[in-house]
A = this chain, B = another copy of it.
Amino acid sequence: MPEAAFVQATIGDSEFDRDTAVTLREPGVYDIDLSAGWTIIGAVNGGYLLAVLGRALADALPHDDPFTVSAHYLTASRPGPAVVRTNIVRTGRTLSTGQASLFQYDEAGNEVERIRVLASYGDLDSLPDDVRTTAKPPAIPPVEQCFGPQDAPAPVPGSSAIADRLLLKLDPSTLGWVLGAPSGKGEMRAWFGLADGRDADPISLLLAVDALPPTAFELGISGWVPTVELTVHVRCRPAPGPLRVSIATRNLAGGFLEEDAEVWDSADRLVAQSRQLARVRLSN
């Protein structure tokens, strides 16, 4: 018998699209059931949440593509019902700015705010082709020389539901932490895709910037590294094919660190940049 054919999912018809789909309740207000499929241990991944907010704003604003999204993470989200409330701040010819908050419900049914974002949207396809970049794609070995959660002989501690939904292949030179020998350099690099083969689009880039293991692991710090703030700039519509994500931390001080992420597409274009401020527990 032939093997079961792998049917590649498409943008608009994939697990990621279904799990980030928001339902209009009334103008500017959207319901969603946050999927347990995008959790790390018990917590819903911050990049998945950003994509949910990004979908709601794409519907609410006259422009479709996130250009810059700034998110402040307030309380930890859990799988289950949530509501996104959006406001239009300003609409312009080339850019529109909106605000959105994601809420969940406490035992009494009161809304508890999880994340608040400000975002400016535009039309990536309207931008001129001019590229004058000095940035270079990250040096990552070929994907067959990289390792993902699926390559571990036993389940990796802390691996989680999200691992089944990603095609994440980490550069072995940033995997010392897995063997108990972190490099001491705050770097993490990986090939990145969705497990069902769906290609990247501007909304899935919001996931890509926050889907790798924390750089803190390579600095010898284990445990939870909660995001305080994350801003992403989408700079180009990604070409089909796998992405390369490179994350670097240069300043760990006073119990906080920054994570700077770059996302490169298969055409060697720098398609997204992000920076987040996160807290670390230095006692670990």
Interface residues in chain A, defined as those with a beta carbon under 8 Å from any beta carbon in chain B: 67-68, 70, 72, 74-75, 89-90, 95, 97, 99, 113, 116-120, 124, 127-135, 185-186, 219, 228-229, 231, 233, 235-236, 250-256, 258, 269-270, 273, 275, 277, 282
User: Which of A120, A133, A134, A185 lies at the interface centre, i.e. has the most chain B CB atoms within 10 A of its CB?
Assistant: A134
* Bound-complex Cα distance A87 to B263 (A): 34
Task: Identify the closest chain B residue to A75 (Cβ).
Answer: B90
* Bound-complex Cα distance A132 to B68 (A): 30
Distance in Å: Cβ of A85 to nearest Cβ of chain B: 13
Distance in Å: Cβ of A157 to nearest Cβ of chain B: 23
Q: Which residues of B contact A251 (CB under 8 A)?
A: 133-135, 235, 270, 273
Task: Identify the closest chain B residue to A97 (Cβ).
Answer: B72
Distance in Å: Cβ of A246 to nearest Cβ of chain B: 12
* Bound-complex Cα distance A128 to B130 (A): 45
Q: Contacting A130 at CB < 8 Å: which of B124, B135, B255, B269? A: B255
Q: Which residues of B contact A282 (CB under 8 A)?
A: 128, 130
Tell me whether A256 and B235 are in contact (CB under 8 A). yes
Tell me whether B116 and A67 are in contact (CB under 8 A). no
Given that A70-B70, A233-B277 are known contacts, is A120 also in contact with B228, CB under 8 Å in the complex? yes
Given that A99-B116, A120-B228 are known contacts, is A127 also in contact with B270, CB under 8 Å in the complex? no
Selected A-B contacts with CB under 8 Å, 17 pairs: A68-B228, A72-B97, A90-B113, A127-B254, A127-B256, A129-B254, A130-B254, A133-B250, A133-B252, A134-B251, A229-B231, A231-B231, A233-B256, A233-B258, A236-B253, A273-B275, A275-B275
Task: Identify the closest chain B residue to A90 (Cβ).
Answer: B74
Tell me whether B97 and A254 are in contact (CB under 8 A). no
Interface of A, secondary structure class, is strand
Q: Which residues of B contact A99 (CB under 8 A)?
A: 116
Tell me whether B113 and A277 are in contact (CB under 8 A). no
Q: Contacting A228 at CB < 8 Å: which of B89, B95, B133, B255? A: B95
Q: Contacting A253 at CB < 8 Å: which of B130, B228, B254? A: B130
Distance in Å: Cβ of A193 to nearest Cβ of chain B: 22
* Bound-complex Cα distance A37 to B124 (A): 37
Tell me whether A131 and B254 are in contact (CB under 8 A). yes
* Bound-complex Cα distance A124 to B254 (A): 8
Tell me whether B253 and A132 are in contact (CB under 8 A). yes
Tell me whether B254 and A236 are in contact (CB under 8 A). yes
Distance in Å: Cβ of A49 to nearest Cβ of chain B: 15
Q: Which residues of B contact A185 (CB under 8 A)?
A: 134
Tell me whether B120 and A229 are in contact (CB under 8 A). yes
Tell me whether B133 and A253 are in contact (CB under 8 A). yes
* Bound-complex Cα distance A185 to B277 (A): 27
Tell me whether B135 and A275 are in contact (CB under 8 A). no
